[in-house]
């Protein structure tokens, strides 16, 4: 996806931007300096809702076969719900999930449909940023469909190829059966990459590609070019200088040494040309009319407008003032208080007699860490000279905690009887309880308050939404579909 800042000069008569071929090996690395991400907004609206127009007239009946619910004039079928539930829950079959989980997901799916309906009612699909994102996804998906048809469906690894590759491996190796899946995946990936490269080369060879080398340095000029100078031509297509510049993150290129930047510019131009050829081939084959393609594009458009509605309409006014942050800090000091801590070392002995001998050695001036390494029965701390690190109240058994927090720095305790033996403790350092400074925690407080305010806003929004919407669940159909308990 390529985002164009509003301040940029528009190039006339230029097609939508393209992205790299999926599954095509390392060629995608050349696209790193391009703007944008291709995936659009993240999946932010699982629980988000939308306000719908009241009074939906002429609603379709709910009694149709397989219909589980109606959201205004949109029907949700059992097959649709089941497929989406399994996709969201890593293939978990509904019978194993239980009725409660299914009903909870149905409610969230109803919320999702309400949000989608409202986003379309507001015309968000016609917003420029949405159009650009959907078009970028569409082109990316076209190349993926072509890759599946031309590479994935045509490439396989035979048993003979697998055996020959296994036999060619040097040195001792495990039985073929033990490594077969991994070797098969490795060979398949190699063959797919080779097939994709061969296919792309064939497209490029027949495309009569011409690049105006003298224009490449002008790509890196800070001021935008005028007119429609053509940077590259290929069979039934072209890329103008202005259009290509808008595909790039020029700031990233301008930070490189000039020769390096020119080399990268050439790599990206070749990538863009390849993408255009792949897209054209996919269109020629009619892959843009396949059900899987149309469903994927529609789904992406719906996710994009839901996210836009959620971020720019529902949460746009959520703010937290500096005063609210300061008030929260004043009223919740305990949340930012670092409790009293002691840094302890320990020696664990099996018997009271052994503990008495070690204590006598310590009182005679023997080093605590040395004795811990020699005598302690706790291997994890013995190798560190008995060091237990910093300990807060509640981290030790009561009989050890009481003694540990009563000692001064440098003090050594008498043997303490516990379930697993006798402990001798030494307090190496003490720290009193302290309150973390406001400057250190104000960012955390603001983020926490914003999240709470967002949840409050969503709860209020959900309530209004459901009050103004027509939502029906076909309980008989749902129970029948779920089967007997």
268 and 354, same domain (yes or no): no
470 and 401, same domain (yes or no): no
456 and 427, same domain (yes or no): no
22 band by pLDDT with thresholds 50, 70 and 90: very low
353 and 225, same domain (yes or no): no
10 band by pLDDT with thresholds 50, 70 and 90: low
97 band by pLDDT with thresholds 50, 70 and 90: low
1 band by pLDDT with thresholds 50, 70 and 90: very low
485 band by pLDDT with thresholds 50, 70 and 90: low
pLDDT of residue 28: 33
* More reliable by pLDDT, 45 or 53: 45
Give yes or no for residue 272 having a pLDDT over 70: yes
Residue 268: phi, psi to the nearest 5? -65, -40
Is 443 a member of any domain? no
161 and 67, same domain (yes or no): yes
pLDDT in tens, 196-254: 999 999 999 999 999 999 999 999 988 777 778 999 999 889 999 999 998 888 889 88
The helix (run of H) or strand (run of E) holding residue 459 is helix 438-467
Is 209 a member of any domain? yes
Rounded CA-CA distance 187/196 in Å is 14
Is 333 a member of any domain? no
> How large is the average pLDDT for residues 248-261?
90
411 and 474, same domain (yes or no): no
Neighbours of 428 (CB within 10 A): 18
302 and 387, same domain (yes or no): no
241 and 354, same domain (yes or no): no
484 band by pLDDT with thresholds 50, 70 and 90: low
| CA atoms within a 13 Å half-sphere pointing along the CA-CB vector of 222 | 2
pLDDT of residue 184: 95
355 band by pLDDT with thresholds 50, 70 and 90: very high
pLDDT of residue 64: 53
N-term to C-term CA, the chain: 48
Q: Which of 324, 332, 326 is nearest to 435 (CA)?
A: 332
SS3 track for 192-248: HHHHHHHHHHHHHHCCCCEECHHHHHHHHCCCCCCCCCEEEEECCEEEEHHHHHHHE
Is 283 a member of any domain? yes
Percent of the chain with pLDDT over 70: 84
466 and 408, same domain (yes or no): no
Coarse DSSP helix, strand, coil percentages of the chain, rounded to the nearest 5 percent: 55, 10, 30
User: CATH number for the domain including 389?
Assistant: 3.10.50.40
382 and 473, same domain (yes or no): no
Is 440 a member of any domain? no
DSSP labels, 239-302? EEHHHHHHHB-HHHHHTS-HHHHHHHHHHHHHHHHHHHHHHHHHHHTTGGGSHHHHHHHHHHHH
417 and 477, same domain (yes or no): no
Rounded CA-CA distance 50/466 in Å is 9
| CA atoms within a 13 Å half-sphere pointing along the CA-CB vector of 470 | 15
Number of domains in the chain: 2
pLDDT of residue 17: 40
Is 188 a member of any domain? yes
182 and 273, same domain (yes or no): yes
Instruction: Find the domain containing 414 and state its range.
Output: 340-432
Residue 210: phi, psi to the nearest 5? -130, 125
pLDDT in tens, 58-96: 344 454 568 999 999 999 998 888 888 777 776 666 656
């Amino acid at each position: 996806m390529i985002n164009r800042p509003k301040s940029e000069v528009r190039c006339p008569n230029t097609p939508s931007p393209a992205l790299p071929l999926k599954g095509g090996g390392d060629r995608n690395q050349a696209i790193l300096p391009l703007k944008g991400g291709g995936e659009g907004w993240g999946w932010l609206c699982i629980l988000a809702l939308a306000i719908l127009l009241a009074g939906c007239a002429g609603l379709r009946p709910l009694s149709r076969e397989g219909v589980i619910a109606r959201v205004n004039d949109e029907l949700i079928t059992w097959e649709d719900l089941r497929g989406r539930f399994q996709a969201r829950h890593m293939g978990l079959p509904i019978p194993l999930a239980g009725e409660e989980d299914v009903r909870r997901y149905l409610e969230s799916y109803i919320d999702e449909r309400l949000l989608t309906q409202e986003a379309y009612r507001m015309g968000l699909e016609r917003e420029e940023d949405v159009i650009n994102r959907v078009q970028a996804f569409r082109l990316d998906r076209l190349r993926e469909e072509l890759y599946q048809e031309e590479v994935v469906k045509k490439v396989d690894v035979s048993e003979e190829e697998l055996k020959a590759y296994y036999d060619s491996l040097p040195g001792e190796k495990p039985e073929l059966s033990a490594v077969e899946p991994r070797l098969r995946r490795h060979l398949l990936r190699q063959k797919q990459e080779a097939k994709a490269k061969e296919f792309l080369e064939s497209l490029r060879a027949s495309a009569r590609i011409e690049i105006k080398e003298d224009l490449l340095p002008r790509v890196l000029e800070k001021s935008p070019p005028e007119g429609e100078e053509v940077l590259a031509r290929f069979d039934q297509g072209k890329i103008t200088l202005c259009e290509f510049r808008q595909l790039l993150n020029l700031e990233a290129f301008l930070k490189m040494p000039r020769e390096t930047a020119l080399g990268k510019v050439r790599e990206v131009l070749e990538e863009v040309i390849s993408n255009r050829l792949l897209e054209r081939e996919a269109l020629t084959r009619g892959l843009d009319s396949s059900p899987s393609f149309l469903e994927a594009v529609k789904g992406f458009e719906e996710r994009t407008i839901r996210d836009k509605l959620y971020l720019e309409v529902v949460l746009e006014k959520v703010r937290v003032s500096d005063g609210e942050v300061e008030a929260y800090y004043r009223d919740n000091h305990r949340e930012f208080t670092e409790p009293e801590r002691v840094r302890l070392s320990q020696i664990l002995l099996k018997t009271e007699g052994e503990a008495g001998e070690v204590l006598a050695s310590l009182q005679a001036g023997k080093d605590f860490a040395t004795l811990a390494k020699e005598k302690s029965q706790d291997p994890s701390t013995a190798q560190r000279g008995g060091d237990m690190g910093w300990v807060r109240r509640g981290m030790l058994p009561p009989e050890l905690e009481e003694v540990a927090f009563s000692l001064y720095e440098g003090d050594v305790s008498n043997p303490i009887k516990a379930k697993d033996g006798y402990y001798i403790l030494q307090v190496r350092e003490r720290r009193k309880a302290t309150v973390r400074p406001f400057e250190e925690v104000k960012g955390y407080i603001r983020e926490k308050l914003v999240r709470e305010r967002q949840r409050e806003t969503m709860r209020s929004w959900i309530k209004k939404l459901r009050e103004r919407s027509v939502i029906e669940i076909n309980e008989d159909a749902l129970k029948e579909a779920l089967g007997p308990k």
